[in-house]
Chain A
Amino acid sequence: MTKLTRRAAILSAAALPVTLGRPALAQSGDPFKVGLILPITGPFASTGRQIDAAIKAWLRANPGAVAGKRFEILLRDDTGVAPDVTRRLAQELVVRERVRALAGFGLTPLALSAAPIATEAKVPMLVMAAATSIIPQRSPYIVRTSFTLPQAVRPMADWAAKNGIKSVVTMVTDFAPGLDSEKAFKETFTAAGGTVAGEIRTPLRNPDYAPFLQRVRDIKPDALFIFVPSGEGSALIKQFSERGLREAGIRLIGTGDVLDDDILNDMGEAVIGAVTSHHYSTAHESPENAAFREAFKAVAPEMRPNFMAVGGWDGMHLLAAALGRTNGDVDGTKLVEAMKGQSWTSPRGPVSIDPATREIVQDIYIRRTERRDGQLWNIEFDKIQGVKDAV
């Protein structure tokens, strides 16, 4: 079997000059390939479409070369439900297409399965959506530009405790991000003097929230804290109002995933007055966000950019900033080093990359859903600055 090892040697020798990276005197417009792996079809397709559109928008808004490099995006669909496919696509993009960075990653298991590839290939892996805390610990090449659930949940729990909410029932989807939020909420809320009167977990595949909400109504807490995957929220909130939980004096609080801007406008009157915490609202008022929305509109006029989109946009910004700092050196390790400690003003507000954890640090906003100019928006009315991911 010396053949095998010889073959490996030949292959890696062939790959060597490329992987080591070229010096910075590369020609202007030299391609820098980014392997973008997203759920483009399947149950989580909307996540992928948002991020894909945001990246196209970013490229449109930033057409020039960065440090002599021109971004070339290779989009792949992992269908959102098959981690082995995500991993294979990552492997292929690295081996065959020789991408300099991997990006995307819609859900936690998908990101986790690809993490070893980033480590072994030594390419930066930008997580633009998946939100479970553990992800960046799985590879020193992972940098996250989305958010983590505890980041969004803890401010919500604090706000609730300070605003007259004494007892809460938590209702989360029974998978890792849901359990993360349940834990984070309970810790923060009870530490602030509140009580969690009930903990409900709903199955990931769940056609009907009604029975769970009926239980909440029977318990009668001051508020119901919810976390469900983006896209499931509207069904839940409609049931919330149809069950008469609002009339029973139960307030609705949650993370912003539930009131996803992508579909918020179709959710109807039921969602008005819901209080959520998140890192981005399309309604955020800043020149950066106005530019982002305009660029996004040019690419996807029928969609409103949501928190997934902003993760994609910032991911591209971060990659460009890192390339600038390395003067166009595409070495993966150097790029990740260059990403650490970057800070900039994102459409969501001021953000930075924590050099210790490679996790984004950002402001978390408390928002209330309101109708403005005939449309529904999450209007920010309070914020907690510089929130790190503290599990």
Chain B
Amino acid sequence: MAAAVTVLLDGIASGMLLFVLSVGLSVTLGLMNVVNLAHGAFGMVGGYVCAVLLNRAGVPFVVCLLAATLAAALLGWVLERLLYVRLYGRDHLDQVLFSIGLVFVLGAGADWLMGARQQLIQLPEWLSGRVEVGGVGLGRYRIFLILLCGAVAAGLHFGLVRTRFGARLRAAVDDGVVARGMGLPVGRIFSLTFALGSGLAGLGGALGVEVLGLDPNFPLKYLVYFLVVVAVGGANSVAGPFVAAILLGVLDVAGKYWVPQVGAFVIYTAMVVLLLARPEGLLARARS
């Protein structure tokens, strides 16, 4: 029983992390209709920023997370203004070509600056070790992941539904021409959204150094996971990818714990079944 609770919480933690890493992809795909396979590269950049600041400059971990988020967001903003903006409305396959090229470039850049080896970080004392709650042991870092990523998810959902920016974004996406005609700065809204998604990936990459590892191969290594989350969750909301990420996280961890001989089969099978059952995404309402 205790084992089941531990497995469940571990799964939720890993799902939450996956969510923060992939939600930006879902936003760019669902809202802006851009296939950005380079999304993981922003996570990688965040991870490296975090690792360098923490290991070489001794900056506190929380500050590193913030810096990673900002650095990735800044990079996202610059690249959006310079390059991605030229790809809006283009064929998806052109976007694939472009973003894979970008992955190669950023990966080579990371290799040049940091080398090919794994980057490791040391978590601060207050995030290491585990706590026992009623006989159930849980790593502190995992609790931290759940709380932080949960807050991010809630903030995103609230921001998109309740704020003025959210309303403008949804308007810009629903009908860019009309929105522009109404005087909405559609270009700037897209830039900010792209930067936000990249920043979140940066945060996820920084949080993930400890759990997922980090090397120049990171963007391609986890690309499949990001795609799975977006596809299963549906690419037009925050809640869909959130539920999908948690579901996949829990299934993945539980599968490894109880049926390790089946290996990665669990998660792929779950993905295919979910896609067949809910092709528009987990929480999608029926659309005409």
**Does chain A have a CB within 8 A of B88?**
no
Residues in A with CB closer than 8 Å to B115 are: 46, 49, 302-303
Please give the distance in Å from B198's CB to the nearest CB on chain A: 21
- CB–CB B116/A266 < 8 A: no
Q: CA A205 – CA B121 in complex, angstroms?
A: 21
Taking CB atoms, residues of chain B closer than 8 Å to A210 are 10, 14, 139, 253
At the interface with chain B, which of A25-33, A127-135, A196-204?
A: A196-204
Interface size class of B (residues with CB under 8 A): 35 or more
Scoring A residues 238 to 251 as 1 if CB is less than 8 Å from chain B, else 0, what string do you get?
Answer: 10011110000000
* B130 CB contact (under 8 Å) in A174, A205, A244: A244
**Knowing A201-B261, A244-B129 touch, does A211 contact B137 (C-beta < 8 A)?**
no
User: Which A residues are in CB contact (< 8 Å) with B53?
Assistant: none
Residues A212 and B257 in contact, CB atoms below 8 Å apart: yes
Residues of A within 8 A of B256 (CB): 202-203, 206, 208, 211-212
User: Scoring A residues 174 to 208 as 1 if CB is less than 8 Å from chain B, else 0, what string do you get?
Assistant: 10000000000000000000000000111101111
A45 to B118, CA, bound (A): 10
Chain B: CB-nearest residue to A203 = B263
Residue of B nearest to A233 (CB): B118
Q: CA–CA, A343 to B111, complex, Å?
A: 38
Does A60 sit at the interface, judged by CB under 8 A?
Answer: no
- A208 in contact with B252 given A45-B111, A202-B260 (CB within 8 Å): yes
Q: Is A243 touching B216 in the complex (CB atoms < 8 A)?
A: no
Q: Which residues of B contact A241 (CB under 8 A)?
A: 129
Please tell me if the beta carbons of B222 and A214 are within 8 angstroms of each other in the complex. no
Q: Is the CB of A212 within 8 A of B260?
A: yes
Contact present for A242 and B120 (CB under 8 Å): no
- In this assembly, does A42 line the interface, its C-beta being within 8 Å of a C-beta of chain B? yes
Q: Which residues of B lie under 8 Å from residue A269 when comparing CB positions?
A: 122
- How far is B116's CA from A218's CA once the two chains are assembled, in angstroms? 36
Contacts of A234 in B (CB 8 A): 118, 120, 213
Cβ-defined contact, B3 with A218, below 8 A:
yes
A242 to B143, CA, bound (A): 12
Given contacts A45-B111, A201-B261, contact A242 B118 (CB under 8 A): no
In the complex, A241→B213 CA distance in Å? 16
Please name all residues of chain B whose beta carbon is closer than 8 Å to the beta carbon of A386 when the two chains form the complex: none
In the bound assembly, the distance between CA atoms of A300 and B260 in angstroms comes to 40
Residues on B with C-beta less than 8 A from A287 are none
Chain A residues numbered 49-75 whose CB sits less than 8 Å from any CB in chain B: 49
Instruction: List chain A residues, Cβ under 8 A from B128.
Output: 242
Chain B nearest CB, measured from A14 CB (Å):
39
Q: Nearest Cβ distance between residue B124 and chain A, in whole angstroms?
A: 12
B62 to chain A, nearest CB (A): 19
Nearest CB in chain B: distance from A323 CB, A: 31
Q: Give the number of A-B contacts (CB < 8 Å).
A: 107
Contact present for B211 and A263 (CB under 8 Å):
no
Chain B's closest residue to A208 (CB) is B14
Contact A268 B222 (CB under 8 A): no
B106 shortest CB reach to chain A, Å? 13
Q: Which residues of A contact B141 (CB under 8 A)?
A: 242
Q: A46-B116, A201-B260, A268-B122 are in contact. Are A207 and B222 (CB under 8 A)?
A: yes
Q: Which residue of the partner chain, among B120, B211, B212, B254, contacts A266 with CB atoms under 8 Å?
A: B120
Residue of B6, B118, B119, B264 contacting most chain A CB atoms (<10 Å): B118
Residue of B nearest to A49 (CB): B116
8 A Cβ contacts from B238-288 to A: 252-254, 256-257, 260-261, 263-264
B264 contacts across to A, CB distance below 8 A: 203, 205
Contact digits for B140-182, partner A, Cβ 8 Å, 1 yes 0 no: 0100000000000000000000000000000000000000000
A interface residues, tally (CB under 8 Å): 39
Smallest CB separation, A77 vs chain B (Å): 11
Interface centre among B117, B121, B212, B263 (most CB of A within 10 A): B117
Q: Distance (Å) between the CB of B269 and the closest chain A CB?
A: 14
CB of A267 closer than 8 Å to a CB of B: yes
Shortest CB distance A72–B (Å) = 25
Chain B neighbourhood of A231, CB < 8 A: 117-118, 213, 215
Q: How far is the CA of A322 from the CA of B256 in the complex (A)?
A: 49
B221 close to chain A: CB less than 8 A? yes
Give complex CA distance A231, B115 in Å. Answer: 13
Chain B's closest residue to A48 (CB) is B116
Known pairs A205-B264, A211-B7; A263 contacts B116 (CB<8 A) = no
Question: In the complex, are the beta carbons of A200 and B216 less than 8 A apart?
Answer: no
Contact: A207 with B212, CB < 8 Å? yes
Partner of B210, one of A41, A42, A205, A238: A238
B213 lies within 8 A of A211 (CB): no
Contact B120 A243 (CB under 8 A): no
CA distance A267 to B119 in the complex (A): 9
Contact A211 B212 (CB under 8 A): no
Residue among A42, A208, A243 making CB contact with B211, cutoff 8 Å:
A208
B28 within 8 A of A: no
Interchain CB contact (< 8 A) of B55 among A238, A242, A266: A266
**Chain B minimum-CB-distance residue to A201:** B260
> Is A359 an interface position by the 8 A CB rule?
no
Q: How far, in whole Å, are A247 and B142 apart by their CA atoms in the complex?
A: 19
Q: Which residue of A lies closest to B213 (CB)?
A: A235
B237: CB under 8 A from chain A?
A: no
Contact B120 A268 (CB under 8 A): yes
Separation of A241 and B141 alpha carbons in the complex (Å): 12
Contacting residues, chain A, for B3 (C-beta < 8 A): 214, 218
Contact between B118 and A263 (Cβ–Cβ < 8 Å)? Answer: yes
Closest 3 pairs between A and B when the two form their complex, measured CB to CB? A45-B116, A211-B257, A266-B120
A208-B14, A303-B117 are known contacts; what are 20 more A-B pairs with Cβ within 8 Å? Answer: A41-B216, A45-B111, A45-B117, A46-B115, A46-B118, A48-B116, A208-B252, A210-B253, A211-B7, A214-B7, A214-B10, A215-B257, A231-B117, A231-B213, A232-B213, A234-B120, A235-B211, A241-B129, A268-B122, A302-B115
9 A-B pairs within 8 Å (CB atoms) are namely A46-B118, A202-B256, A205-B221, A205-B264, A208-B212, A208-B253, A210-B253, A211-B253, A218-B3
